[in-house]
Each structure stands twice: as structure tokens, then as C-alpha cells.
Amino acid sequence: MKIAVDAMGGDFAPREIVLGAILAAERHQTQIVLVGDEPSIKKILDEKKANDLPIEIKHATEVISMDEHPADAVRVKKDASVVVATNLVKSGECDAVISAGSTGAAVAAAIFNLKRIKGIDRPAIATPMPTPKGVTLMLDSGANVDSKPEHLLQSGIMGSLYAEHVLKKKNPGVGLLNIGEEETKGNEQTKEAYALLKGANINFIGNAEGRDVPKGNFDVVVCDGFVGNVVLKFAEGMAKTIFHLIKDAIKEGGLLGKLGAALLTPTLKKLAKRLDVAEYGGAPLLGIDGYVIICHGSSNAKSISSAIRAAKAYVESDVINHIKNALAKDKPLESGI
Amino acid sequence: MKIAVDAMGGDFAPREIVLGAILAAERHQTQIVLVGDEPSIKKILDEKKANDLPIEIKHATEVISMDEHPADAVRVKKDASVVVATNLVKSGECDAVISAGSTGAAVAAAIFNLKRIKGIDRPAIATPMPTPKGVTLMLDSGANVDSKPEHLLQSGIMGSLYAEHVLKKKNPGVGLLNIGEEETKGNEQTKEAYALLKGANINFIGNAEGRDVPKGNFDVVVCDGFVGNVVLKFAEGMAKTIFHLIKDAIKEGGLLGKLGAALLTPTLKKLAKRLDVAEYGGAPLLGIDGYVIICHGSSNAKSISSAIRAAKAYVESDVINHIKNALAKDKPLESGI
């Protein structure tokens, strides 16, 4: 097993990415190829005396930044770190690729170089959301907008198989993110998607409302990438806001409040860790014929290390073949768009 | 000033609604007309010895339940409490109407009986979201789905005027809920809406991402009712989940954790109150030629009392005339749909 990591992608690249690779190599005995500017990467490895670890460097001269048009940049910059890393999976040198850089660029590089699975019109980012009942997989959380109902059906099938084979959930319950429980509720897209999901060979429970996501009432929640992305970023902002408010409230709470806070700190820290997306190791880009993991732009070493661990489990699950088999059975999936 | 209250709408109607009216009549010296089953309402008023308060009863024989088709039910059930209450505004007997019943029915009753403001194609529910920087007004949070870009423009104008005249924010900053900061980001709907909002006579700042809503980075956030409704319910579920997790974590935190929690309880309670939507008194249905406030289905007496107080401020703001004046200036608003 060998994992390609885009060393130049992310707000804290290359430093945090390289440190994350070191962590993962030490902890999870994974072979890693760091792709990007060799001198910069080597400097960090030297500094950390990490030259004995199973980490290789693959030099790449270009970087795609957050403000470039993803598809155009991937076409033009053949030697961009995310493109070179993705091509290591295409050539079979690596088993999976991880990037914390521009999500659009990672998606475009995957579509162009690894191609979609036959029967899948659009890939979907499947984000694991922490809940009190374990993880809820929300997809699509930002790969595509203006989805057709068929795309939501495809996401439902892929999400169900990922939950079963990677998250090890038995007969995972799939919900459609909607604005009411009843089948008749929703917009044009979700009303049609409901009918399609109902007919699919998955455990489709029905509509999930916004509140069902944080409560963990479904194993898999299917939605358009616009809605999923808004919800994901809202969750991130809200978690941060609540913890800040708690801190502020404690400051204003006087001496007893401060004493209480001091006593409660280990408990709150444990809770914050449980809600920390960095613990959950990135989001798989489902629907691509290759193992691709998208990480948060603000990924630190811990997040990258978790993502490398998650990538390993993802590859071992062989879920792409499970998706291919399921689609071969469920013929009428392609919308032809 | 006289406020019509649908006494039969809501999960805890009529009891909590009547108790809320009593609270408001005592605290805010408001004249209230409770609309619904007279014997049931009278019984609660008698029990609370509230017969000297400025509360009238208007008998209505029918109720629209949550699972009825809103528009059909409003058409057929002429004597439904929400219809009768709305008609009290139409006839001029009351200045505003409040309902915690089926949102769809309240919206349909408002559109049929009070009509839309000229220049507004679709009304929008404007929900005040608590943030560390004060309230952010999010609209539409569920009156309409599959909005056209023009509808988002109309929401932006109405939301801006509401924030200015009711929430008393000077030159309120308006954002468009989207999946990236850049003008080019988004789906078809938001890309077109961006251009329209940019040209409007409001303080349009640009795209707001999901995380900007809980952080309070905008005074007004404009979105389609599908997205707004999902976000609103997500926020509700997440706030509840985090407080439950804190409680659970405290239980597992041992003796010191429990002592800490006990000392911190007043602080956390104050925070919970600050985040409690019940404190914020319902959401105005903007775009209707009449003052309509939509309350959460789970409204308790406190929520209803807050909504009555909010309704009073809403009517006093004269914001409907401000909207009419703004639309008369900004002619080319009607999409003709």
C-alpha cells in the first residue's frame, strides 16, 4: 500500500502536510509519496530527522492555487502537485491520493485522469459528520451543484456502500436531505429523487430534515453539493462559535464560574475532540475510478495523518469494486447527461 | 394596537398559546384576540383568572393540521383558526397576526387574504438567528423553494429594510448564501442573483458562506427557502446536540467534573438562553401586505409572548410602507412570474 500526498495543497502546506506524513508513517506504517517542491519537502524531513521513514518525494514544479479556475488550471498545469499525485494512482504506483488544496482542482484532476466509474455521472464528496450516534456520511458536500435527481440516486447507492464497507455499518439507513418528512415535501429535485431512491436497492428510510444530521438519525444523508457545502461550513462555524461563547461566558462568570471551568476543562476538551473534523480524516471523492481523499484546506499534521489512515482503510475496503458491481446489477442508472 | 393570535396552531396549542397571550398582555400591555375554539380558550383564561386582561376571543370552528395540503386546506376550511385570524388583519380589526401552526397554511392564508406587496412575487420567512454579534436575519427560511434569482433580489431588499427599521441596524450588510466567496462561485440561481443584488440599492457585501451565518458576519443573509429551511433546522438540531453532549460529558467527568458543572451551570444557562430561538419571537413573513409572524411549531408560552412583543415592534416600524416605497423607486423588480 502506497499513498500519494499532495504536499503543496492546503493553507499550511507544505509544512503541516509533510509533518502529517511523518506522523502517519510512524504510526500507521504506511508508505507515502510526497508530491511537490522537492527542496522544501526535503528540508522539513531533514529537520525532523525523518529520512529513515518510508516516505519518498516526487518532485512537481507547479501548484494550483485556490483562486484559479480548477478545470482550466488542471488542463494547463500538467506538473501541478495535485495532478502529478493523481497520476501516481493512474499509473498504479500509488493506491490512493490525498489533497488538502483546491477542492475543485482535486475533483477536476480525478475526473480527467482517473475517470468516473461507469454508471456514475458525477462524483460526490462524502463528508463524515460527527454525531452522538457515531458518524453520519453526508454527500455530496461540494463536488457538484445543480444536481439532477439521478445524481442524488447515484450518491445514495455510493454512500450506502461506503457506509457498509468502510464505516462498517450493517444495512446503513439512507436519508434524503429535505424540508419535511413527507414524501410530497421538497423542491423539484428532491421530490423526483425521493421516488428514485425509494426504488433503489438500498435501505432508504425517507426524508431527513436538517435537524436529523447533527442528531445522527441516519447513517447516510444524500443532498445536492450546494446544500451539503452550506451545511458543512455552517456546522464548522457553529461549533467554533459555541465553544467561543462558552469561553466568553466563563470569563464573565466570575470566580466560581472560572473554578467550574477549570474543573470541567478536561471534559470539554474531550468533547471538542469528538466534534473535531480533523479527527475524521478527510472525505472520499466517491464515483471516481480510483481512491481519492479530499481534505479540509485548514488541515494540520493531525488531519493529514488521519486522512492517510482513512485512505488505507478506504483502499482495503475495495469499495470501488463494490460500487461497480452494484451498478452493473442496477442497470438504469445513467441519466445520459 | 391589537394582535390576532391563532390559538389552535402549534404542537402545544391551545394551552401554551393562551398562556403566552396572558404573559404578553401582562408584560407588554398589548390587546390580543385569541382565535379558535372558544370553550377551550375560555377554560384556560378562567383557570388563570385572566379575564380582566385585554384579551378577546374570536370563535373559529376549524383547525388546519400539519399534514393537510396547506393551500387546499386554506381554500376549503373558511372557518379555520389561522384563516379567521388572518382575516382580522384584512378587515382592519387587528394590526398583525401570529401563528405557530402549519407554516404552509399561514403562508397560504396570508397570500390569499392579505395579498402580496406589489413588486414582490413571493413572500419570504425572515428568521432571526442568534450570533455572538447580535441577530442575523436569514431569509427565506422556508416559504418557497425553487426560487428564481429575482426572488432572492426581492428578499435582499426586504431583509435590508427589515434589519434597518425593525432590528435598528444602520446600513445593514446583506450577503448571499453561497458556496464560495468569489462572485463566480455557486449554482445557476446564486450566480444570477449575485449580479442582481450587486445592482440593488442596498449594502450588498457579497457571498456569505455557511460559516458566516453562525459567526454573525452579515446582518442579512439571503437564500432559497429550501437551503434556509435545512440550515435553520440543522442549527436547531446542532445546538440541542451540543448541549446534550456537554451534559453527557459532565456525567462521565467524575466528581470534579460534576463540581465544575455545578459551578458553571448559571453561565451555561445564560448561554443557552442567548441561543434559544424562543427568545427571538418568531419570524416575519415579508412580502405580504399585512403584518404576519410565523412561530415555531414547538412554541411555548414564552415564545408566543416574545412573538407578540416582536409583532408590536414590527407594526410600529411601518416597514411594509418602507418596502412599498423602495419598490416604487426600484421599478424593474417584478419578474412577471
Give domain status of residue A325, yes or no.
no
Q: Tell me if A253 and B233 make a contact (CB, 8 A cut-off).
A: no
With contact defined as beta carbons under 8 Å apart, do A72 and A102 qualify?
A: no
In tens, the pLDDT along A94-143 reads 999 999 999 999 999 999 999 999 999 999 999 999 888 889 999 999 99
Least confident of B106-115, B121-130, B270-279: B270-279
Best mutation target, B68, B72, B209, B230, to test chain A (most A CBs within 10 A):
B230
What's chain A's average pLDDT?
A: 91
Please provide residue A57's backbone torsions phi and psi, each rounded to the nearest 5 degrees. -120, 135
- What is the pLDDT, as a whole number, of residue B331? 56
* A130 and A273 housed in the same domain: yes
In tens, the pLDDT along A301-313 reads 999 999 999 999 9
Q: Which residues of A touch B259 (CB under 8 A)?
A: 260, 263
pLDDT bucket at B276, cuts 50 / 70 / 90: low
Q: Range of B265's domain?
A: 121-280
When CB atoms are compared, the residue of A223, A246, A264 closest to B260 is A264
Give domain status of residue B330, yes or no.
no
When CB atoms are compared, the residue of A190, A227, A263 closest to B256 is A263
Q: Tell me if B210 and A274 make a contact (CB, 8 A cut-off).
A: no
Q: Which residues pair with B98 in a beta bridge?
A: B5, B293
* A189 and A307 housed in the same domain: no
Please provide residue A253's backbone torsions phi and psi, each rounded to the nearest 5 degrees. -80, 5
With contact defined as beta carbons under 8 Å apart, do A337 and A56 qualify?
A: no
Return d(Cα A171, Cα A164) in angstroms, integer: 7
pLDDT bucket at A336, cuts 50 / 70 / 90: very low
In tens, the pLDDT along B23-47 reads 999 988 889 999 999 999 999 999 9
Q: Tell me if B261 and A260 make a contact (CB, 8 A cut-off).
A: yes
Return d(Cα B12, Cα B14) in angstroms, integer: 6
- β-pairing verdict for B55-59 and B31-36: parallel
Q: Which residues of B touch A246 (CB under 8 A)?
A: 268, 271
Q: Tell me if A234 and B237 make a contact (CB, 8 A cut-off).
A: no
When CB atoms are compared, the residue of B131, B146, B266 closest to A187 is B146
Best mutation target, B65, B131, B138, B242, to test chain A (most A CBs within 10 A):
B242
- What is the pLDDT, as a whole number, of residue B278? 57
* B304 and B268 housed in the same domain: no
Residues in CB range of A269: below 8 A, 6 or more apart: none
* B183 and B116 housed in the same domain: no
When CB atoms are compared, the residue of A209, A239, A242 closest to B233 is A209
* A88 and A148 housed in the same domain: no
Most confident range (mean pLDDT) of A240-249, A325-334, B89-98 is B89-98
* A308 and A189 housed in the same domain: no
Question: Any chain B CB within 8 A of the CB of A117?
Answer: no
Q: Look at residue A242 and tell me whether its pLDDT is greater than 90.
A: no
* B212 and B263 housed in the same domain: yes
Residues in CB range of B215: below 8 A, 6 or more apart: A237, A240, A241, B131, B132, B133
Give domain status of residue A130, yes or no.
yes
Contact residues, B window 226-265, toward A, CB-based 8 Å cutoff: 226-227, 229-242, 244-246, 248-250, 252-253, 256-257, 259-265
CA distance, residue B5 to nearest chain A CA (Å) = 25
* A165 and A84 housed in the same domain: no
Domain boundary among A258, A278, A298: A278
Nearest to A130 by CA among B130, B133, B241: B241
Quote the DSSP letter at residue A100: -
* B274 and B174 housed in the same domain: yes
Q: Tell me if B249 and A267 make a contact (CB, 8 A cut-off).
A: yes
- What is the pLDDT, as a whole number, of residue A231? 96
Q: Look at residue A335 and tell me whether its pLDDT is greater than 70.
A: no
In tens, the pLDDT along B127-160 reads 999 888 889 999 999 999 999 999 999 999 999 9
- What is the pLDDT, as a whole number, of residue A200? 95
Best mutation target, A211, A256, A270, A275, to test chain B (most B CBs within 10 A):
A211
Q: Tell me if B242 and A275 make a contact (CB, 8 A cut-off).
A: yes
* B61 and B98 housed in the same domain: yes
Question: Higher confidence at residue B138 or residue B335?
Answer: B138
The CATH number of the domain holding residue A23 is: 3.40.718.10
Which alpha helices (H) appear in A30-98, and where do they start and end? 38-47, 70-76, 81-90
In tens, the pLDDT along B170-218 reads 999 999 999 999 898 999 999 999 999 999 999 999 999 999 999 999 9
Looking at the structure of chain A, the number of domains it has is: 2
Q: Among residues of chain B, what percentage have pLDDT more than 70? A: 93
Question: Any chain A CB within 8 A of the CB of B65?
Answer: no
- What is the pLDDT, as a whole number, of residue B275? 66
